[in-house]
Structure 1
Amino acid sequence: MDLTNFLKTGTYLKLKVGLSEENIYSCFKKKDLSKKYYYNKLDKNEGFSYFYGDGALEIMVIDSKIYSLQFDPARYPYILTLFNNIIISHKTSFELIIKYLDIADIKWSFYQRYCHSRELTIKTEENIFIGCVYDKGDYKLSKFQVFEDLYNGFF
């Protein structure tokens, strides 16, 4: 799964935030997706997630629209790459990710809103959030995510 275009555009394959749930099925066969994981089993209208690639990609759906796309670099056996040849994982340093963003000429900033205790988040100009968690002396890359942002602006 190459994330270069995702980091530049917020789109993966033909999926992006705001599109209808039906667009998911034009990119993936239903049998390749997990069962729907409902956020509230008693009220299925609250939304659900599909997982693809052993959880490497989470597609959140709320009100029949794609609300979020999130990649988890710790999920195996799926390999995440940048520039079609640089393998990234949860062990890739945060500094290296920032270097790759600079090489790709993707503007970014530290983003306070989603920084909790030992988590650090940056936001790109395309509203992609990249999270890192500090754990036992190391930062671990935890997510690449775009979602419907009520605050909608860069920085």
Structure 2
Amino acid sequence: MRKVNDFLKYGALPKFWLGLSFEEFSAIIGEEKLGKRWYYDTTDKTTYAYFYKGIEFSFLDDKICIINLDVDGRKRFYVETEKGEKRIIFPNTTLYQIIEILNQSSINWRFYPRYCFNHQLTLLTEGNVIIQFGFSDKEKLSYIFKLHKSELSFSPEYGS
């Protein structure tokens, strides 16, 4: 399991952040562990991704532009509360539960109206990380489908 408090609070993971070059990224992970390069469009070699330990690192012009935690995958992520509890984030973690976890962990957040529409609601943490939820009419359940930071989505400061 990977602790994600710093990701939510500061927008970076230990050793990985937006703007990190591919050369630095591959040196940290090691050439033998890189795996396959996934292209979003095979005709455009400037945008691609690597998947490493449940995290998708997207590159634009050989620099990390998106860090996406795959909460649907086999890897588990947790937030440690101020009381030392490990709160695991599951794909079916509800909006109420996430807000409770963030509050118990002193991670500031707000609703992010730019991506709140139809059956989707988005939170923005103080680290400029977005947490997106989808809602189903039939089941009346919420689910997380993204937990990521993108330089393409935010103003540079939380709250602006």
Residue 130 (structure 1) shift: 0.7
Which position in structure 1 is the counterpart of 2:49?
49
Q: Does structure 1 conserve the Cα–Cα contact (< 8 Å) formed by 2:26 and 2:34?
A: no
Indicate which of 140, 145, 148 corresponds to 1:145. 148
Normalising by structure 2, we get a TM-score of 0.85
Question: How much identity, in percent, do the aligned residues show?
Answer: 29
Q: Does structure 1 conserve the Cα–Cα contact (< 8 Å) formed by 2:9 and 2:108?
A: no
Distance 1:14 1:151, change over 3 A: same
Alignment root-mean-square deviation, CA: 1.8
Residue 13 of structure 2 aligns with an amino acid whose one-letter code is Y
Which position in structure 1 is the counterpart of 2:17?
16
Q: Deviations over 1:5-44 (max 9, x none)?
A: 2111111121111121223224323443441111221121
User: Using the alignment, how far apart are the partners of 1:31 and 1:94 within structure 2?
Assistant: 39
Matches within 5 A, 1:1-155: 1-45=2-46, 47-53=47-53, 56-76=54-74, 78-83=75-80, 85-135=86-136, 136-148=139-151, 149=153, 151-155=155-159
User: Using the alignment, how far apart are the partners of 1:88 and 1:43 within structure 2?
Assistant: 34
Distance 1:33 1:89, change over 3 A: farther
Q: Deviations over 1:107-155 (max 9, x none)?
A: 1110011224211111012101011111331101112111114532323
How many pairs were matched up? 151
Q: Secondary structure at the match of 1:95?
A: helix
Distance 1:152 1:60, change over 3 A: same
User: Using the alignment, how far apart are the partners of 1:82 and 1:26 within structure 2?
Assistant: 28
Q: Secondary structure at the match of 2:49?
A: strand
Q: Does structure 1 conserve the Cα–Cα contact (< 8 Å) formed by 2:79 and 2:105?
A: no
Q: Does structure 2 conserve the Cα–Cα contact (< 8 Å) formed by 1:15 and 1:23?
A: no
State the 4+ residue runs in structure 1 displaced beyond 6 angstroms.
Answer: none
